[in-house]
Structure 1
């Protein structure tokens, strides 16, 4: 079976166009939002009984969909002036994440030092703003002083993230944050699930039966929130995943995946830990939802104890999951901040909602 569809959603209630701060209040909501979703789904079902008595039943499905924002409160604004970071922006794909392309981590040889081994500094001027920063080695180095505070505290140093100069202007910036001037930011992912799939395989032979069911998502990304997703989120939390603790940059661990230690003071984004390709969470996964093995007791034995049917089984749920989260204790199936207990659960932090439980069970089904 194959289905191809298009769905249009009209007049959604969304925030209005941003107002000047002198207005004294936020923009009121209104019926400004239109969406268009295009998708497809394919399903497969197969049943067969072999000559030797083995029976097989196979069901599988695969689907995909993308949603575009065809109209928002900014529909009458020129395309180049529309904001990248608004949830609803006319012409944007719903769920798109804009961020920087990560090159690598800076190393000590990327900087210039004086005879005493101290950083040599120079003044960089970008669009009329001057900042004193550590001098980079090489010809025509690309500076990213936008992330520095200008107070000689937040300075790009060995172990910090080095970004790609996407627009080739010699600096790493966010531009005006619009379609017309995105700076060095591009679409690095989408938070909506793509290529959702599932299957169930059932086998039976004589008195035995076996089934396995799995599901997964082929493509989904998020910029995480909280101490389980953001390295350096908050030193006061008192603990962090071993993935962070054992793989951050130090002078004797220059091949680390995560940058040098820095306290973001409870923020999900700051300094060079901003939405980017290297630390975007890959939430694609495959999970074996259920494995069941059963045995139907012989009718001859059941007749002696006045039973019509009895089946003994053992079942395992959610025991096996394959993901690409590098060992972070995050359930890829969960949505940040969503829980059966409350909305925005645990301040919306990733991986801190109710976990998916692993369940092992043994039982008997009896018919009198």
Structure 2
């Protein structure tokens, strides 16, 4: 068993330091930001068996907490957050990197369902263009206007923990290997969904759209004119990205040595294997294992090609 606890401070990260207004220049990237990672890792293994049957089991789990500690602005000025992750059709950014938050935290509007009647929509003066079937956005500061001041943290792309498990076994001339991999507690922003949200090529979820009072409380009406901006960056597009995947599975058989001697072969093994065999996840996209696009864009699904399922049959021969 191996157990490690660590703290890592990363310095000289890229950040945009604001220029004085008199400079007349847009801020440029500089290696001035800092972040802290605290975490723990546990790995355990066991080997057992006797006679014709042996096996080995190995498992690991890793967890960390990430926090931005500095964005590099001068002491007498305000540190300005970094916004990244523009998503198709939203006209806005998805992620914020700011002091006290994890890197690339999802940032947008909180929603509170769907207006069921025109009277309900008209009574909410914060959304002047809303009608029945539109999304209700939360007025966080209560000023009667839905704008950027009402954006809040809507998700975290960093997992609570990741884990893996491997198992190997041999029984007489048969062998078996299994590798599982998983992640838990991370969110995904389903950015590819935005392609489909206006008038054409609608996803199957459009069948559950609002079409009248009481017909839907989470999927808005379909309209050519979206004056309420139902598709703006919000928690509507945040999904649980946790998953457990069978990364690889292999079964093999090695011919007995007495048979091989007559054939003039020292080893002959036949095997069958599969990669990315099954994935168990609540995520509705193609693949929850989407990775990153740069340090400041994590967990944004823009339609990445999913991990292919691969089957193999093979023979290992040693003369």
Q: Would you say same fold, with TM above 0.5?
A: yes
Equivalent residues in 2 for 1:79-90 (5 A)?
83=81, 85=83, 87-90=96-99
Q: How far 1:213 sits from its partner (Å)?
A: 0.7
Pick 1 or 2: higher relative contact order, CA cutoff 8 A, min separation 6.
Answer: 2
Q: How far 1:307 sits from its partner (Å)?
A: 1.1
The answer as to 2:136 corresponding to 1:158 is no
Cα deviations across residues 303-352 of structure 1 (Å, max 9, x unaligned)?
221111111111111121122223x3x321124668xxxxx9xxx98343
Return closer, same or farther for 1:15/1:305 CA change in 2, 3 Å cut-off: same
2:279 match:
321
CA distance in structure 2 between the partners assigned to 1:349 and 1:94 by the alignment:
13
The answer as to 2:187 corresponding to 1:186 is no
Equivalent residues of 1:211, 1:293 under 8 A apart: yes
The answer as to 2:217 corresponding to 1:217 is no
Considering fraction of residues, name the structure with more strand. 2
CA distance in structure 2 between the partners assigned to 1:14 and 1:28 by the alignment:
8
**Which of the residues 205, 223, 229 maps onto 2:193?**
229
5+ residue gaps in structure 2? 85-95
Return closer, same or farther for 1:205/1:187 CA change in 2, 3 Å cut-off: same
The answer as to 2:287 corresponding to 1:331 is yes
5+ residue gaps in structure 1? 113-133, 137-141, 149-154, 177-182, 339-343
Equivalent residues of 2:116, 2:214 under 8 A apart: no
Q: How far 1:163 sits from its partner (Å)?
A: 3.7
2:92 match:
none
Return closer, same or farther for 1:34/1:334 CA change in 2, 3 Å cut-off: same
Aligned positions, number: 303
Equivalent residues in 2 for 1:26-175 (5 A)?
26-50=26-50, 53-74=52-73, 76=75, 83=81, 85=83, 87-108=96-117, 111=119, 134-136=121-123, 142-145=124-127, 155-164=129-138, 166=140, 169=142, 171=144, 173-174=146-147
Equivalent residues of 1:248, 1:260 under 8 A apart: yes
Return closer, same or farther for 1:172/1:77 CA change in 2, 3 Å cut-off: farther
**Which of the residues 196, 207, 229 maps onto 1:246?**
207
Equivalent residues of 1:159, 1:260 under 8 A apart: yes
1:13 match:
14
CA distance in structure 1 between the partners assigned to 2:225 and 2:309 by the alignment:
34
Q: How far 1:209 sits from its partner (Å)?
A: 1.6
Equivalent residues of 1:37, 1:67 under 8 A apart: yes
SS of the aligned residue for 1:223 comes to strand
Equivalent residues in 2 for 1:287-326 (5 A)?
287-326=245-284
Cα deviations across residues 264-298 of structure 1 (Å, max 9, x unaligned)?
99xxxx81333333321322222111111111112
SS of the aligned residue for 2:190 comes to coil
SS of the aligned residue for 1:239 comes to coil
Equivalent residues of 2:196, 2:203 under 8 A apart: no
Return closer, same or farther for 1:254/1:78 CA change in 2, 3 Å cut-off: farther
Equivalent residues of 1:33, 1:88 under 8 A apart: no
Equivalent residues of 2:125, 2:144 under 8 A apart: yes
CA distance in structure 2 between the partners assigned to 1:37 and 1:249 by the alignment:
43
The answer as to 2:224 corresponding to 1:259 is no
